[in-house]
A and B are shown apart, each in its own frame.
Chain A
């Protein structure tokens, strides 16, 4: 869904560098979700945020990964000291408070991280 904007679409990093992925939700949406998808695999939940709050980070690795959704600006998924296993497509999705319980998420086109 083009209304959920993710950037960069493609990112190449060397091992040990930092990766920052940005997501601007659909207009009016205050709920943001991040998912990781390895090649040929399904989507894996990472974290669910509302403005200035992390609601559920049960899918987030305990180290090197962090996420935020500030009052102003996009949501950021940050990966420190990247390793080759971090290479994946990272999808952001958003929902409004009203659609949260229907399970309808609007996905961005993803950010593809390649770690050399």
Chain B
């Protein structure tokens, strides 16, 4: 069964600290993996996309990694800011039934405190 599991479910950190969010997937055949950020009351916004051949990709203070062998991805946030408080959603694209399907994780809710 195609699934995307994220951990932790929620996380509280102090401003300025680093954190790492995890995404494990049991999806096949894998096409790509994307991380979205969803601010409270807003729509999700794409942070980064990882394809099969990519191991790491950075977008400012966000760094995503992908291990296609273990089917794990992580999103590392460096020097957190209050504005990083949001839900972070892992989405995996899979080829299924003659089209691409997106499998969403339930998200990690991050709260950054001053």
Q: Which of A41, A44, A105, A109 has the most CB of B within 10 A?
A: A105
Tell me the A residues contacting B by CB distance below 8 Å: 1, 4, 35, 41-45, 55-56, 91, 93, 100-110
Using C-beta atoms within 8 Å of the partner chain, give the interface range for chain B. 20 to 34
CB contact between A45 and one of B32, B41, B104 (< 8 Å): that residue: B104
Q: Would you give the 0/1 interface string for B5-49, flagging 1 where the beta carbon is closer than 8 Å to chain A?
A: 000000000000000000000000001111000000111111001
Tell me the B residues contacting A by CB distance below 8 Å: 31-34, 41-46, 49, 89, 91-93, 99-102, 104-107
Inter-chain contacts of B45 with A (CB < 8 A): 1, 107
Interface of B is mostly: strand
| B34, A109: Cβ atoms closer than 8 Å | no
Interface of A is mostly: mixed
| A1, B43: Cβ atoms closer than 8 Å | yes
| B32, A43: Cβ atoms closer than 8 Å | no
- Compute how far the CA of A90 lies from the CA of B68 in the bound complex, rounded to whole angstroms: 32
Inter-chain contacts of A110 with B (CB < 8 A): 41-43
